[in-house]
Structure formats: C-alpha cells, structure tokens
Chain A
Amino acid sequence: MDPVQSAVALTVREALHTLSSSEDGGHLLSTLGALKRYLSGAENPALPGEQEEFARMHFSAVLRCLVGRLSPGWLELLPNGQLEDLWASFFLEGPADQAFLVLMESIEGAAGPSFRLMKMAQLLARFLSAGRMAAVMEGQCRQLTEPAFRLLQETLLIKVVGLPDHLGNRLQRENLEAFLPQNYFPLLGEEIMRVLQAVVDSLRGGWDCSVSFLSQVLGKACVHGRQKEILGVLVPRLTALTQGSCLWQRVCWRLVECVPDRATEALLTGLVEAASGPDVLSRLLGNLVLKSKKAQFVMTRKILFLQYRYSTPMLQSLLGYLAMDSQRRPLLRQALKELLETWGSPSAIRHAPLPQQRYISSALLICLAHLQDAELRDSQDELLASLMAGVKTRLDSSLPAVRRLGMIVAGVASARIHPDGPPLRFQYEEDELSRELLALAAPPPVADSPSEAEASPAAETPDRGSVDSGVPQAQPEGSGSDLDSDDELVPYDMSGDQELKSGKAPAYVRDCVEALTSSEDWERWEAALRALEGLIVRSPAAAREVSVELAKVLLHLEEKTSVVGFEGLRQRALVAVVVTDPAPVLTLAAQELSRPGRLPPQCGSPSPTSQPSSTQAPAWRAVVQERIRSKTRRFSQRSPGRGPDAGPNEFNLVAGYFFFPLIRHFDRPLVTFDLLGEDQLVLGRLVHTLGALMYLAVNTTVAVAMGKALLEFVWTLRFHGDACGGAGPRRGLQGVGGESAPASGEAQRHTRPAVVSLVPAREGPAPLELAWPARGLCQWSMRGPPALSPWTGPPERGPEVLRREGATGAPAG
C-alpha cells in the first residue's frame, strides 16, 4: 500500500473515532484542525498528495460523520460557535461536489423537521450564496470523459436541477427563500455564467474543457419548465459576450449542441422567446438547425405548425434566424411552402382553431417578407398554385374570420409571389388584425439596431414634406400688405358643408311606391327610399293598404345609383313593412324565397355586403338629451327605463306566417339551392333564422307545431361538418327546448320572449331575404302591435337584445 495512502487513512480513522465518541471540546477542535490541513487553502497545509488522497477517498466519510454528530449539545461544547464555524468550513471549503452531495443526502435522509435538518438547510443556503455551485459544475467540466464519473454526474445533475423540489418537499413550510425556484434558477444561471467564464478562460489558456455537464443542467432546467428564470439571466449576458468574441460564440454553440435531444425543444423555445432578435438568436445558436435533426424539427415544424402560443416577435426572431444565413435559407423556403400548404389546406381550415390559423398566416407573411424575389421566383408556380387553391378554400368557408384571413394574406402573398401579374385585391374593412398582418408583410429592416437608425429620418421626412407643401398655401399668389393679417383669419370647421339634397321626398307611402317603381328622377327615387321607413311608421294604416305591393317593390328593388347605405335603407323599410302588416307580407316573403332565382347573387361572394348599421346618435345629441333630462321635471312616476307594460302576447298571431312557409319550401330539394353543398351559408342562415323564430315563439300556442317541424328539419343536419351548419341546429334545438319551459311552471320568466340578436353583421354576410322578415318578427315580438306604442327604433339598439347563446332554454338532447 502506498505510504501516503496509509498515513492519511490512519489519521482519518483516528479522527473519525474521536469525532464520533469524544465529548471534549478541546479535543474535537484539535482533531478537526488536523483534518482541515488536508483541505486546500488551509494554514500549514498537508502535502498535495495527501490532500488529493483525502479528497478522493475520505472526505465524504468525514462529512457524513460530521453530519451525524450534529446536535445542539455538540455544537455548544465550545463557546462562541467555534465548533460550528469549523464544522461548516469543511462543507464550504472542501471539494464542492462531494460536499453538495453529502448535504443533499443528509437533507433528504432526515426523517422530519428537526434541528439537524434546519442546520443543514441553512448550510446549503450558505453553500449556494458562497458560489460553491459554480465550483460543483466547474469540477464536472474539467473531468473529461472518465467513465467512473458518469454515475456521479447523473446524480449531481439530478440534485442540482432538482434542488428546489427536494428542498421544498423536505422543508415544507420551513423552506428558505434561496431554495424557491424563482430565486434558485436565476442563481443557477449566474453560476453557469461563471463556469462558462472559467471555461472560456481555460480554453484561452490552452486547457481542454467540456461544457456537456452545463448543457445537461441547462437542458434539464428547461425541461423542468424554468426557461424563463434561467434563460432570463443567461441570454442577456451571452448576447453581450458573444457580440465580439468568436470564442464565446463557439462555447455558446457547443453549449446548445450538447443539450440532450429530449431537452432541445424546451431549450430552443426558451431561447427563441428570450432572444431579442434574429441576430441574437443567430449568434447564440449558430447553425444548430443544420447540425441537429431534433433542433431542425423543433424550429421548422414544431414551433410553426404544431404550436401556436408564441408571440409575433418570437416568430419574427425565429424566421429571421432562418433567413440570416445562406445555409439556413433553404429551410425558410421549405417552411414557406409548407406554411402555404397548411394555410390553404381544407382540413386545416376546417379543424384548426382560429388563433392557429392567424398564427400560421402571420408566419407566412413574415416568411414572405424575408424571402427575396429571386428565391420566390424559383418556386413561383408551386407557390402560386397552393396559394390559389388556399384562397379558394378559404373564401368558401362559412366563417367570416377565415375568409378575412384568406383575403388579407392572399392580397399580400399574391403581390409577392407573382409580382408581374396583377395582385389579388379584396374589399375588406381595415381593422387591427389587417393592419397588424400587413405590417408583418413589410420587409424587415436590414440594420442591426434599426429602431433608432431608421425611425428618426422616416419620422422627419414626412414633416419636411408637409412643411414644403404647406408653403404655397400660406403664401398665395402675389404679395401685399394683407398677408400680414392672414393668420388672424382662422377657418372654422367646414366639414358640414355637404351637397344639398333637394327636398323631393314624397310625403305619402303611396307616393314612395310610385317613385320607386316608375320614377326616372334619381334624386326623387333616393329621397323616397330614405323617407320610406319613417313614412311607414308614421302612418301604418296607409302602409297597410299597399303593404304587399310595397314589399314586392322593395324586394325587387335594384340599386341603380350607388346610394350610400342602400342595403340598410331597403332592409329597414322592409322591416317596417313587416312590422306594420305582418301576415300578408310574411307569406309573401316566404313565397319569394322559395321561388327559383331568388338566391341573392352576393351571398356567396367574399366581399362583405354592407350591413345596416344602427345609426349612432351623435355625441351632441347625447349631451342635449342629458341636459334636457337634468332640467326637466317629470310628473309621471314611471321610470323612463321601464319597458312597456305587460300584456297578452300578440306574437302568437303572426309567429307561424313566416316559419311554416319557409320550412315547407326549404325541406324539399330545390333547383336553385344545394343546401348541403355549396350553399351551406344559406343553410346556416336558414337554420339560424328558424331557430330564432322558434325561440321567439316559445310562449305561443303554435310553438309545439313549430318545434315539431323544426326538429324534423334539423334532424338530417346533425352531422353537418361545417361550423355554420353545425351550430344552426343547436340553436334551433335550443329554441325547441325552451318551448317546454312554460309548461313546467316557468311561465313568469317567459312572459316576454327575449329578443334574439339577429343582426347579421355579427355573423357575416347573410342573405338579406332571410334576415329582414325575421327581424321584423323580432320587432313585433318586442313591442306588440305597431299602432299602440311609439316607434323605438331598430331592435339592435334596444336594451333587451341578448346574444343567442346567453339566452335561457335547455339544450335538447
């Protein structure tokens, strides 16, 4: 046996004996002092060989013995906590990995809350705050490929990353701040940075090092879901350090490469999230996507296609990263192709949730922004083909949001993919979504820090332009003494200076009919259309005389001049006619609908039809009303907010007039409609309308018959795949279900049927012909006979309007 080994073994054995049995403070002190000589950095240290032998063979045993002796009485054998300091110094100054393992082991081994457990936990906290964790990890970086240490490394890895869990389990409510994950993982990040610094230093010094242990720690922490904490510390520091140093970049790349496959996704998503831009990502990752299959899968498939929770800046970072290097650009092209396919795939459109479709659209536009025209031209035909197929599929969808995405993306993509030809143009109203998406399609700034460099000139240029153009206005032709006084004359607001409409509006409903049918004077025609609703409401008796004729005229009215809000005017007039004279007009409406050729040509078109908008009262009117209310004393006790008094439900009289003809004409095959195929939009509206009517009619005696008919009608639609067709029957059945409510004693709740929102604007374009009779009925059910109560305006303004989904009524089935 080596003399050094035996000498150390003898000393240690004696010391252990003393430690485990002696109760004499002085003796213990001297024994510990003797042992401490073997630790590096002690006063009058032992020989290096002896130190090494001690560290390799005996240190753990000594520590375990020390842990075993720990008790309040033992520590008080010497005054002033001398013994405790000395005891702790073994853990804090000895080889860190062994000390850490013994600490963790003793903490995990403790039976329950005890003095020793608390002492050990506090010691561990000191161990962490003293930065010993870096020493633990650094030790692992220096030991290159020694198979004996594999097991140790595994154990260490589990303990290092799992420390918050272990401590939390063991200490329960006594847990210390330092062990909470939100504190521990940032600390671990700091420690990793210190180790990386040491690694870089030693690489500069010419010593080999391995970062694989660090990678494993990092990967495991990410798998544990602590990306934010740990990468929040690492990424900003690495961003700064990799800025100018190739060595740091290489260390960083190596660090990411060595992460085990199972942790790649967690780490990469964390990195993409934490990196401030594509250039940073590129510095941190290098060409990782080309080296690692797993990374490639995560970056080009998983983040893009399988998940959609990431923010747009993340997508921009990721796709920008792919675009930054010529080796990676093929991946971007590939991604674009696949994105375009997914974007247009009928299955994806049908089954993917809307946020994901939006996400894919964003990614698609970002890809397009990064790719150059030449790259796009290479695969122009292929891209164009899938784009066109996708546009078609999307525009056929019954969901407005899907169509909208289709229009926005197609407009941009067609211009980019096929720059020579005319781009696809759609009419859609601008909103936040479209602006956001269109902004993504703008080519990304080239500069490294574009925000300051480009924003300022861009902001100044239009200013200068406007000043230039402003000069000729301020200095008109000639000059004279008058110019000095120009600025006195500030113009007033002249926005109200509209063209004067001549006062040709007819004064009687009959005149309107005449004007609408035979007038060649377009001003009169338009004035008649505008005046019609008011006239009908003002003189219902006169309107009743010509109601059917008027309804026919309105139904067949063509928009010959581009009157602003034509559809809305026509619809409001039709609604007014229905309310005034329900029975004959409704019968007429159902007949007209079932006539071949009545399918409105615009119902399948992608551009949203102009919907009637409830005319918003201008702000001044609200102010004036408020003032009138505050200054007016009312003698009536009735509060103005109260609805009309309860009375017998008159809806019963008219409920069936539209419903039965409608359902009768539609449940047989018609030459003009392919309800289960292309015309599913019509089907959706039809079922929705029927359901709404059913719902409105829950308290009427005719409801039972209506319910039966409706159930028969929707039974075939149970398995309809389209969202519109699928949701319709549900609504209808809710109406049927609600019908049983009064019978079960809930009549009080249903004295006035809630008004269903039939406003088609929320549902997307709908055939006008379906919407207006229903809306008329809706008004009827709200306010009773039209002659008795004052006009209250279109129903969508009323407070009683409820969303269909929120209404009562037990779903059948």
Chain B
Amino acid sequence: MAASPLPPPDPQFVLRGTQSAVHALHFFGGAQGQGRPLLLSGSLSGLVHIWSLQTRRAVATLDGHGGKCVTWLQTLPQGHLLLSQGRDLKLRLWDLAEGRNAIVDSVPVESMGFCRSSVLARGPERWMLAMPGGGSDEVQILEMPSKTSVCTLKPEADAKPGMPMCLELWQADSSPRPLLLAGYEDGSVALWDVSERKVCSRVACHPEPVMGFDFDSQKARGVSGSAEKALAVWSLDEQQALQVCRTHELTNPGIADVKIRPDRKILATAGWDHRVRVFHWWTMKPLAVLSFHSATIHSVAFATDGLLAAGSGDQRISIWSLYPIRSDASTPSLGHAEGREVGTQALA
C-alpha cells in the first residue's frame, strides 16, 4: 500500500447541455474494435441525448416523451433498438440504425411509479420485457417485440411489499428459465421464477425502499442501495434462496442507483449526497469518493471499456476513468450481462 493515498480523482471530462436534470444513462456500442461508445442520457425535460464520447458533443436529441422525465434507457444487444421509458407512461422503441432516430413502437406503462423496466434478450428477434404493472405491487412481463403479455407477477396477498422499485430480468447459466429480481418499496428484494409465477425467495435488505440494485449473475451476488445510509450485499444460494451477506455503512443516506462494472471488479453508487462512491465489488472495500456534482446523482453507468458516467440533478454528466480494465480480462457474455453487452455497430 502506498504511503499516502492518491489524491481524489477528477472527472475525465464533463458533458453539459442537457439543460435539465439527468435521470438515466446508458452506454451504447463500443464493443471490441468499435471505437468509443456513445452515451445516451435521459433528462427530466423528456429528451434523450446521444453523446459522442469522441467529440464530447451531443450528436442527436430524441424527443418522444412529451416533456416528461425519461427514467430508463436500454439498447438491445443486436440491432439498433433503443428502449426509453418515460413518466408519460410510455415505453418507446427507437430505431437508431444508420443515423435514424424514429419511434418504431410504443408500449403503454401502467404504473405511475419510478420503477425502471428490464429486458432479457433471448434471441435476435425474441426478447422479454419486465415493467411495473397496473396494480400497485404488480410486475408485468411482456414477450417482445410482439408485446404479448406473458404474465403478471403479483405477490401473495399477505406479503404487502409495496410497489416494485427496480427490476432485473436474468437467466442462470444452467437453466433456460427466466428469473426476475425485484426490489420493493418495503426494502425487500424478491426473486421471481417467471415461468412458474411464484416468488422463489424474498429477503428484507433495507428498512427503506430499495432505490436501485445490480446483480452479478456469475457470482450470484447482488448489491442494493436504498434511501437509508447503507448498502446491502446479498447472495443467492443453490436453492435459489436470497440471503443478506453484509451491509456497508455510508457517510450520507440515499443511493439512487447502483451499477457493477462489466468486468465485475468494481461497483459505483449514485448518491443523494452528490457523490459517486466506488467500491471493490468482491470485498466492498471503499476505493474512491467522486465529488464533482452539486446536486443529487440520479444515475450511474459503466461502459464496456470501463468508463464511468454519472448523471446528476445539476444537469451535468461527468465521465470518469478509474482502475482501467485489464486487456486480458475477457468479459463473459452470459445471463443478464448480455443485456449490457451492447450493440455491435455503433451509430454512424
């Protein structure tokens, strides 16, 4: 260990110009040999900006949510389909191929909550979408792109977990059955078996609502943040039972988003205290506190090359480069991680 710690890092660069708070971030493209990825950002004013990380300018602006906040952005691994969820109760599908930016489809969202949806790609033209359902505690599963409703996951009557706050669809290596992890308003995280429509396991992680979590399917371990002053790390055993491994105390309460880097070395949290915290994923050792923003951070995202983006209420997106990914560290593209293994062709 070095005698004196490294001075706190500075952002590599900062993207300005969304002119409203940034609520969603997503890296797009930039797989091996594809040059630098693009960054998508969704803002409070309902716009989706597409940023070139080379020129550090917005290359396109998508306006499809009628001025309502964009809460979630996701691209599909194949093709150039972008999903954006907005508070206008619409989930838009955009075609970004060859510089196009047209809405190709739209799915109505029945929940007024802030819950972000999740997708699970099961083939080039076959993917599954989980989004908050019409009932206050329901999760709706759709088969896409046909938009056929597969099922609605509704907790048992006596459970009362509250609204779903965040969702994650994934698939274990061994089995083809899709699974859904959902964080609920009462601070619990539940594992759903989608095909059987039942809760496999549920564990109370926080006394406050779960605001964001991320799950490492390879290690079967996840981390969640909530409105309280702690992170919870939980794991999934062979019997598909969730259990809390540990909690990690934070200086200030409130975590809006948690993301594990694709190489599963570090994770970043978006703090209400204007700071991004970086931890070692396996040991949960604190590595850095990134203080740049002057308002609540709503979203963090990692690119495949390790770049970290943080979007904040101060209308800025800061880009950080910490602990570069080793070139020999191959990233397995299994399970949900596939969802983040983004498109093979960058936008022109």
Which residues of A approach B to under 8 Å, CB–CB? 476, 478, 480, 482-483, 485-486, 488-500
A residues near B275, Cβ cutoff 8 Å: 497
Kindly list chain B residues whose C-beta atoms are within 8 Å of the C-beta of A488. 323, 326
B6 touches A (CB below 8 Å): yes
For the complex, give the distance between the alpha carbons of A493 and B10 in Å. Answer: 12
Residues 5 to 22 of chain B near chain A (Cβ within 8 Å): 5-9
Q: Given A494-B5, A494-B8, A489 and B289 touching (CB < 8 A)? A: no
In this complex, what residue of B is CB-closest to A470?
Answer: B1
| Cβ A498 vs Cβ B251 within 8 A | yes
Task: Give min CB distance, A736 to chain B, whole Å.
Answer: 55
Tell me the smallest distance from the CB of B325 to a CB of chain A, in Å: 11
A-B pairs with beta carbons under 8 A, tally: 65
A493 and B8: CB pair below 8 A? yes
Q: Is the pair A492, B8 in contact by a Cβ cutoff of 8 Å?
A: yes
Q: Provide the residues of chain A in CB contact with B323, threshold 8 Å.
A: 488-489
Measured CA separation A493–B288 after assembly (Å):
7
A476 to chain B, nearest CB (A): 5
B273, A496: Cβ atoms closer than 8 Å: no
Contact of A490 among B2, B252, B265, B286 (CB under 8 A): B2
CA distance A498 to B251 in the complex (A): 7
Does B142 belong to the interface (CB within 8 Å)?
A: no
Q: B282–A482 contact, CB under 8 A?
A: yes
A342 to chain B, nearest CB (A): 48
Task: Please name 25 pairs of A and B residues whose Cβ atoms are closer than 8 Å in the assembled complex, sorted by A.
Answer: A478-B282, A480-B282, A482-B282, A483-B282, A485-B265, A486-B280, A488-B326, A489-B265, A490-B5, A490-B6, A490-B287, A491-B288, A492-B5, A492-B6, A492-B7, A492-B8, A493-B6, A494-B8, A494-B288, A494-B289, A495-B5, A497-B289, A499-B251, A500-B251, A500-B274
Chain B interface mostly helix, strand, loop or mixed?
A: loop
- Compute how far the CA of A488 lies from the CA of B265 in the bound complex, rounded to whole angstroms: 10
Which residues of chain A are within 8 angstroms of B266 by Cβ–Cβ distance? 489
Q: Which of B146-165 contact A (CB under 8 A)?
A: none
Q: How far is the CA of A222 from the CA of B10 in the complex (A)?
A: 70
Out of B2, B8, B282, name the residue touching A496 (CB < 8 Å): B8
Contact of B280 among A480, A489, A493, A500 (CB under 8 A): A489
A492–B281 alpha-carbon span in the complex (Å): 16
What residues of B have a CB within 8 angstroms of the CB of A490 in the complex? 1-2, 5-6, 287
Report the minimal beta-carbon distance from A363 to chain B, rounded to whole angstroms.
41
Pairs A-B, 5 closest by C-beta atoms:
A493-B5, A492-B288, A500-B273, A497-B289, A476-B283
Contacts of B282 in A (CB 8 A): 476, 478, 480, 482-483
The contact string, 1 if C-beta is below 8 Å from chain A, for chain B 77-121, is 000000000000000000000000000000000000000000000
Closest-CB distance, B274 to chain A (whole angstroms): 7
* Chain A nearest Cβ from B244, distance in angstroms: 14
Q: Would you give the shortest CB distance from B327 to chain A, in whole angstroms?
A: 13
Is the Cβ of B285 less than 8 Å from the Cβ of A491?
Answer: yes
> Which partner residue on chain B sits nearest A475 by CB separation?
B283
Whether B9 lies near A492 (C-beta < 8 A) is: yes
Question: Shortest distance in angstroms between B113's beta carbon and chain A's nearest beta carbon?
Answer: 26
A81 → chain B, closest Cβ, in Å? Answer: 73
With a cutoff of 8 Å between Cβ atoms, the chain A residues found around residue B1 in the complex are 490
CA distance in complex: A488, B266 (Å):
11
CA distance A486 to B274 in the complex (A): 27
In the complex, what distance in Å separates the CA atom of A483 from the CA atom of B326? 15
- Which B266-323 residues have C-beta < 8 A from chain A? 266, 273-275, 280-283, 285-289, 291, 323
B residues within 8 A CB of A492?
Answer: 5-9, 287-289
A482-B282, A488-B323, A491-B5 given as contacts; is B288 within 8 A of A496 (CB)?
A: no
